[in-house]
């Protein structure tokens, strides 16, 4: 049996997940993600290193852009197969990809106007990476696969999706390759969720696999406890109220926004914070929250009980859903403290930039970061302590209080990843450490080599490995 793996993204970096599996004359692409780190974004524009029309199927673990964000380009460039994923992932991916395409179109139009104003000729024509039409066409390729249901995805290749506990509908994928009487199973961890976190079920564990591809976003550190998370959020809210400013929370539309609402609801029910107006200022996060409410079958017992008791965090007192630009702008005319959850989570675009403009130079306001900030992003510059940042082309002094609470992460930390991997009763033939910055991936690779027998590899971009 010969199986070839090619690592085309999220290899010693976090974003751009893309792994090509070739066996039995079939080609299956696991993930088709967008690069978000500034130093790697040119890769989004490069031609695919394979003819898209030769790909038999795409397997998608979940709907974050760094996993699904290049699918419209893949379809536009010739892919004609199915994109297999869970029903919730398909629904959320449609929302996220249309939003991404709209941003691409807006950015391209803005750059063209700026170049015209500055009388500059760019080295290449300014165009969106893909259009809303491309995203609409891409959505026609989604095929729903429920958890635990084997699906034939290529010649002698069967994929089974299992709950990853990371975001709504997220999956780990067991890809089994058959060749005569021989077979091998490659387990793709996707993004591994955490046990005992709000709303979702715990991640699935496995008893065996021949090869494991495991993420390492936080492979070199440990998260805060749930108690620390709650205390950190309460402290940030109460300190900002006392100072008289606003609390701006850059939020990812998928999962992080919903988790923040959950914890704010808990604090309000316990009277640990004042009853403030909370704005979910993200049309995409609002639409995704509506998808959450459509899929209670994916909730854990605690969340189901809260829904039955009419204590849903998606209906917390004081919550305002701001869908229009006018409603968003009106937030800045409110006197007194408000909490604003807005995208994007890494401050690379979206409405959060406008809220930063209005608050980042106010010492009484606070910017609360609750998620991973990729290298080179505006969010990363702020959390790294920059005294000045550029927003909408203008320099802004960072005078607001910058707060970071790590425990909100939907990614397992080093010990949680190890616990998940330890469920395998026998050591796999090989472990591939991916989806982590180079230092994190290498540190986690060393950690695993000390802990477990078997070959541990930290592949680089475009590395090719043949499995037997």
What residues does each domain of the chain span?
A: 3-221+410-467, 226-408
pTM for the model: 0.92
pLDDT at 453: 67
pLDDT at 408: 86
CATH numeric code, 3-221+410-467: 3.60.15.10
Point out the least confidently predicted range of 172-176, 245-249, 344-348.
Answer: 344-348
Instruction: Encode pLDDT of 286-304 as tens digits.
Output: 999 999 999 999 999 999 9
Would you say residue 124 has pLDDT above 80?
A: no
Instruction: Encode pLDDT of 20-46 as tens digits.
Output: 999 999 999 999 999 988 899 999 999
Instruction: Encode pLDDT of 343-395 as tens digits.
Output: 999 998 889 999 999 999 999 999 999 988 888 899 999 999 999 999 988 99
CATH numeric code, 226-408: 3.40.50.10890
Instruction: Encode pLDDT of 141-154 as tens digits.
Output: 999 999 999 999 99
Q: How far apart are CA 260 and CA 250, in angstroms?
A: 11
Would you say residue 237 has pLDDT above 70?
A: yes
pLDDT at 188: 98
pLDDT at 48: 98
What percent of the chain clears pLDDT 70, i.e. is strictly above it? 99
Q: How confident is the model at residue 1 (pLDDT cuts 50, 70, 90)?
A: confident
């Amino acid at each position: 049996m010969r199986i070839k793996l090619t690592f085309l993204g999220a290899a010693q970096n976090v974003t751009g997940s893309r792994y090509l599996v070739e066996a039995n004359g079939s080609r299956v692409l696991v993930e088709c993600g967008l690069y978000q780190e500034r130093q790697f974004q040119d890769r989004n524009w490069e031609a695919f290193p394979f003819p898209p029309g030769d790909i038999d199927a795409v397997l998608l673990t979940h709907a974050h852009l760094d996993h699904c964000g290049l699918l419209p380009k893949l379809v536009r460039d010739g892919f004609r197969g199915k994109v297999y994923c869970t029903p919730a992932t398909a629904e959320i991916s449609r929302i996220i990809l249309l939003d991404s395409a709209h941003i691409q179109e807006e950015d391209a139009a803005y750059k063209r106007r700026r170049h015209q104003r500055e009388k500059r000729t760019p080295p290449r024509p300014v165009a969106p990476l893909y259009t809303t039409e491309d995203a609409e066409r891409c959505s026609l390729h989604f095929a729903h696969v429920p958890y635990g249901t084997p699906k034939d995805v290529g010649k002698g290749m069967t994929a089974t999706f299992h709950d990853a506990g990371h975001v709504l509908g997220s999956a780990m994928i067991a890809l089994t390759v058959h060749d005569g009487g021989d077979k091998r199973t490659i387990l793709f961890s996707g993004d591994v969720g955490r046990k005992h976190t709000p709303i979702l079920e715990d991640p699935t564990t496995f008893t065996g696999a021949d090869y494991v591809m495991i993420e390492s976003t936080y492979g070199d550190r440990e998260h805060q406890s749930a108690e620390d998370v709650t205390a950190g959020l309460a402290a940030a809210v109460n300190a900002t109220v006392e100072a008289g400013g606003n609390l701006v929370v850059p939020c990812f539309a998928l999962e992080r926004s919903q988790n923040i609402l959950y914890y704010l609801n808990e604090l309000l029910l316990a009277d640990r914070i004042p009853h403030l107006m909370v704005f979910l200022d993200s049309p995409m996060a609002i639409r995704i929250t509506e998808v959450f409410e459509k899929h209670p079958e994916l909730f854990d017992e605690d969340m189901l009980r809260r829904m039955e008791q009419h204590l849903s965090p998606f209906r917390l007192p004081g919550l305002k859903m701001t869908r229009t630009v006018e409603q968003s702008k009106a937030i800045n005319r409110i006197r007194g403290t408000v909490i604003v959850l807005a995208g994007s989570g890494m401050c690379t675009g979206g409405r959060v930039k406008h809220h930063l403009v209005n608050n980042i130079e106010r010492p009484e306001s606070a910017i609360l970061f609750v998620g991973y900030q990729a290298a080179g992003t505006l969010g990363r510059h702020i959390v790294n302590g920059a005294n000045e940042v550029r927003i909408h082309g203008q320099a802004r002094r960072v005078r607001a209080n910058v707060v970071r609470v790590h425990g909100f992460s939907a990614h397992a930390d080093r010990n949680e990843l190890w616990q998940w991997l330890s469920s395998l009763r026998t050591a796999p033939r090989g472990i591939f450490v991916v989806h982590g910055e180079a230092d994190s991936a290498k540190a986690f690779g060393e950690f695993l080599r000390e802990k477990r027998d078997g070959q541990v590899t930290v592949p680089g971009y475009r590395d090719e490995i043949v499995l037997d």
